[in-house]
Amino acid sequence: REERKAKRRRSRWGGDEKEKTFIPGMPTVLPTNLSKEQEEAYLVQLQIEEISRKLRTGELGIPLNPEERSPSPEPIYSSDGKRLNTREYRTRKRLEEERHHLIQQMLSLNPDFKPPADYKPPIIRVSD
């Protein structure tokens, strides 16, 4: 226990009180009278908006401090020697997958949901 405490990383809280995320049209204070379904749909939508914003602006949330980043996998290079699996590429891919999952969840909650304009479902190859 002591040893674990000593190794403990920084707090999971990001930034300070002034560093807040504002998502247009999506307040982060909820009324107390929402149904379970309304609450779930709202939280899923909030996450979709948040990921979409990251993908659009390129602010992917990659820590500036390399020590806070996760270990990288073995590099993969293209035939002309460019690295393919860069951190940015891997982060974008993970965010796209996360968003796809959330959009599927949203569509099951609300079939009329319109996914963001820049969303493309992953291509599933069907061979006949």
Partner 1 sequence: PGLTMVGGAGPATEVLCLLNMVTPEELRDEDEYEDILEDIKEECNKYGVVRSVEIPRPIEGVDVPGCGKVFVEFNSIIDCQKAQQSLTGRKFNNRVVVTSYFDPDKYHRREF
Judged by CB, which is closer to partner 1: 11, or 127?
Answer: 11
Contact by Cβ (8 Å): 62, 87: yes
Could you tell me the smallest distance in angstroms from the CB atom of residue 126 to partner 1?
Answer: 31
**Minimum CB–partner distance for residue 90 and partner 1 (Å):** 15
The CA-based angle 24-118-49, given to 5 degrees, is: 30
Closest distance to partner 1 from the beta carbon of 49 (Å): 9
Question: CB of residue 15 vs partner 1: minimum separation in angstroms?
Answer: 6
* Contact (Cβ atoms closer than 8 angstroms) between residue 106 and residue 48: yes
Pick 31 or 121: Cβ nearer partner 1: 31
10 Å CB burial of residue 49 (0-12, 13-18, 19+) is middle
Contact indicator for 100, 115 with CB cutoff of 8 Å: no
**What residues line the site for partner 1 (CB under 8 A)?**
4, 8, 11-15, 17, 19-23, 27-34, 38-39, 41-43, 45-47, 50, 61, 106, 109-110, 112-113
Measured from the CB atom, the residue of 18 and 120 that comes closer to partner 1 is 18
* φ, ψ of residue 67 in degrees (nearest 5): -65, -20
